[in-house]
Structure formats: C-alpha cells, structure tokens
Amino acid sequence: MADLKKIAEELVNLAVKDVNELATILKDEYGIE
C-alpha cells in the first residue's frame, strides 16, 4: 500500500505553492489582493 501520509504531504506542499502563484497572478494581472 502506498504511503498515503507522504502523498498527502506532497499534495499540501503543491497546493500551497499553487495558491501562492495564483495569488501573485491575480495581483499582477487583475490588481486583486
């Protein structure tokens, strides 16, 4: 069985990075903060 905790941790780290990038795009492109 896969190590679900490790997978979950990687997903969370990915999600955090994506959210930060999305926030930057919204700020730069649309002036939303």
- Identify whether the C-beta of residue 32 lies closer than 8 Å to the C-beta of residue 26: yes
pLDDT per residue as tens, the chain (33 positions): 689 999 999 999 999 999 999 999 999 999 988
Tokens 């780290």 belong to which residue? 13
Give the SS3 label for residue 13. helix
Q: Total domain count for the chain?
A: 1
pLDDT of the residue at 21: 94
- Identify whether the C-beta of residue 27 lies closer than 8 Å to the C-beta of residue 33: yes
pLDDT of the residue at 2: 82
pLDDT of the residue at 33: 81
- Identify whether the C-beta of residue 2 lies closer than 8 Å to the C-beta of residue 9: no
pLDDT of the residue at 23: 93
**Full domain range(s) for residue 20:** 1-33
pLDDT of the residue at 32: 85
Q: How far apart are CA 9 and CA 29, in angstroms?
A: 30
pLDDT of the residue at 1: 67
